[in-house]
């Protein structure tokens, strides 16, 4: 566990940026450190936040944040200045709900735990971020269950699953898409616009059947096709 210095609330209009990737392969993807950093800088500028420090780390998101050396350095700087910790997206902090709960509910460093700020949804409160994490975990659980069920159906039909790499990928993508549309139906029922629904799905990480992002146009097309305007 990292040892925190006594917090000195100097200026709450400051932020410490934290960027993380798990592997070098991920770094070469669209989730690279530089892409995250640029995004956070842009949002900080839009919010008129002064950036006090930028920390980058290659480490698994499953590792306890209190055991991530670079993250702890960022936390210490934030504590010293009463700053928030900014990440590009919640999964750049962690996909583990208990990590998000421990940080946003001030369990990790007690009252000295800095607030977490998501560049993708900077207006969210700490409690809203926690709820968001729980929703995302539930979506992933449902996708997993649908994937397992779909593979079982394929197996019952005599399809050889030993060569399932491509098949499993397609099945997972379809299950992901079905989950997205089910969620989109609920959001539409709540009165959200197509563009806001697309934004919500993309932030959670739900993709189309081809693994792409959602837009107002394809959301509208899919919902209209099942009788929802």
* CATH number of the domain enclosing 80: 3.40.50.1390
Distance CA 216, CA 222 (A): 10
Q: How far apart are CA 96 and CA 108, in angstroms?
A: 14
At residue 6, does pLDDT exceed 70?
A: no
Residue 148 has pLDDT above 90, yes or no: no
Query: Are residues 75 and 150 located together in one domain of the fold?
Result: no
pTM for this entry: 0.61
Q: Among 117, 132, 134, 24, which residue's Cα sits nearest to residue 78?
A: 117
Residue 197 contacts by C-beta under 8 Å, 6 or more apart in sequence? 184, 187, 188, 214, 216, 219
Residue 199 burial (CB count, 10 A): 19
Assign 187 to helix, strand or coil: helix
Q: Supply the range of the domain harboring residue 63.
A: 14-124
Q: What is the pLDDT of residues 49-79, one digit of tens each?
A: 999 999 999 999 999 999 999 999 999 999 9
Residues 151 and 87 occupy one common structural domain: no
139 located within any domain: yes
Residues 52 and 73 in one domain: yes
Alpha-carbon span 185 to 192, nearest angstrom: 10
Query: In this structure, are 144 and 220 located in the same domain?
Result: yes
Do 149 and 51 share a domain, yes or no? no
Q: Tell whether 141 and 115 lie within a shared domain.
A: no
Residues 114 and 196 in one domain: no
What is the predicted pLDDT for the residue at 212?
A: 81
Task: Please say whether the dihedral angle defined by the alpha carbons of residues 125, 49, 5 and 70, taken in this order, is positive or negative.
Answer: positive
In a domain, 2, yes or no: no
- What pLDDT does 42 receive? 93
Is there a single domain that holds both residue 18 and residue 120?
A: yes
Q: Is residue 3 part of a domain?
A: no
Residue at which a domain ends, from 83, 106, 124 = 124
Q: Are residues 164 and 88 in the same domain?
A: no
Residues 23 and 116 in one domain: yes
- Listed residues 124, 148, 175: the one ending a domain: 124
If one counts the domains in the chain, the total is 2
Residue 141 and residue 56 share a domain: no
Is there a domain that residue 218 lies in? Answer: yes
- Per-residue model confidence (pLDDT) at position 140: 66
- Give domain status of residue 214, yes or no: yes
Q: Are residues 139 and 109 part of one domain?
A: no
Q: 1 in a domain, yes or no? A: no
**pLDDT tens-place string over residues 164-215:** 455 555 666 666 677 788 888 878 887 889 988 888 888 777 778 777 888 9
């Amino acid at each position: 566990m990292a040892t925190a210095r006594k917090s000195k609330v100097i200026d709450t209009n400051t932020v410490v940026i934290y960027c993380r990737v798990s592997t070098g392969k991920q770094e070469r993807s669209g989730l690279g450190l530089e892409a995250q950093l640029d995004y956070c800088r842009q949002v900080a500028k839009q919010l008129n936040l002064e950036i006090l420090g930028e920390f980058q780390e290659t480490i698994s998101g499953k590792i306890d944040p209190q055991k991530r050396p670079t993250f702890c350095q960022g936390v210490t700087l934030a504590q010293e200045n009463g700053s928030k910790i900014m990440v590009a997206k919640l999964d750049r902090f962690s996909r583990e709900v208990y990590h998000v709960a421990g940080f946003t509910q001030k369990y990790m460093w007690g009252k000295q735990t800095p607030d977490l700020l998501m560049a993708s949804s900077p207006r969210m409160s700490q409690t809203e971020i926690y709820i968001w994490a729980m929703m995302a975990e539930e979506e992933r659980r449902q996708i997993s269950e649908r994937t397992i069920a779909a593979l079982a159906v394929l197996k019952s039909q005599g399809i050889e699953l030993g060569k399932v790499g491509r098949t499993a990928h397609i099945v997972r993508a379809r299950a992901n898409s079905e989950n997205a549309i089910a969620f989109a139906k609920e959001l539409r029922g709540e009165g959200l616009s197509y563009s806001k629904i697309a934004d919500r799905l993309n932030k959670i990480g739900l993709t189309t059947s081809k693994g792409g992002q959602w837009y107002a146009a394809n959301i509208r097309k899919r919902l209209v096709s099942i009788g929802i305007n």
